Amino acid sequence: MARPSSPHVPAAPRPRRRPVRVAMLLLGVAMAAYTALLTALYLGQERLIFRAAPLPADHRFVFDQPFEEIRIPVPGASLDALLFPQPGSRGLVFFLHGNAGNLQTWTRGVDFYRRIGWDFFIVDYRGYGRSSGQVESEEQLVADVRAAYDAIAPRYRGRPIVLVGRSLGTGLAAGLARSVDPALLVLISPYASLVEAGQRAYPFAPAFIARYPLATDRILGEVESPILILHGSRDTLIPPSDSERLAALARAPVERVVIDGAGHSDLQAFPAYLDALAARLDRIGRPGP
């Protein structure tokens, strides 16, 4: 007797692997592109942060008031600095400028300090103006700033020294103030940290790739000197909320002045900014003998 035949069961269709392979390929390409982008950001931070404007080696500064050009030797380079002294000055303003320009551009408002009776000292970072070399690390930059301070501070022994940082220079000024205890620390348009500033500009980049954190928010609580913070209400590059947080972190006496209508680069055009700075400096120094 013949056995009944089994019903025919069709074979299961083979899985389609091509779409999976394409997806994996696209993912690999995306990851490679992302890695390349992060690598470029990691290696190119100096070009992004330090927008140096060099000056010719034979450049000569010309001002309508007395000044002294000072060369400061540092490992592997030489920093260029300017000192604007005046008779009977109240003390010294040690100024650390922002991430662009050079001594020529940052001394356009130097007459302000002459009018209120303070000597003014300003230094170019490596690669800026007539300073040689290139910025290569935060440790190097911090050491250079300290070398500049050590070069000029002995002339003002027994007299008040005020540290002023503008934008990029605020983190450096705060770090210096922690170790030298100035009569006053002035932070103009300060950031909480360059890590946060960088993530605002590049939100896709993880914090760990930042080689220049300049974490003012971790420093300011250790500064014992009085602090003045000046910030424009319309600053879109470094929001006023950064300086608000810094003021809350300070343990020393702190005064924060928000300049209504000012942005990041035009503070000096507002009389309220100049008045606030002049009034605070006036409470420190008195004419010398």
Residues known to be catalytic: 167, 235, 264
Dihedral, CA of residue 212, residue 214, residue 218 and residue 220, to nearest 10: 170
Q: Report yes or no: 216 and 176 within 8 Å, Cβ to Cβ.
A: no
**68-74/77-84 β-pairing:** antiparallel
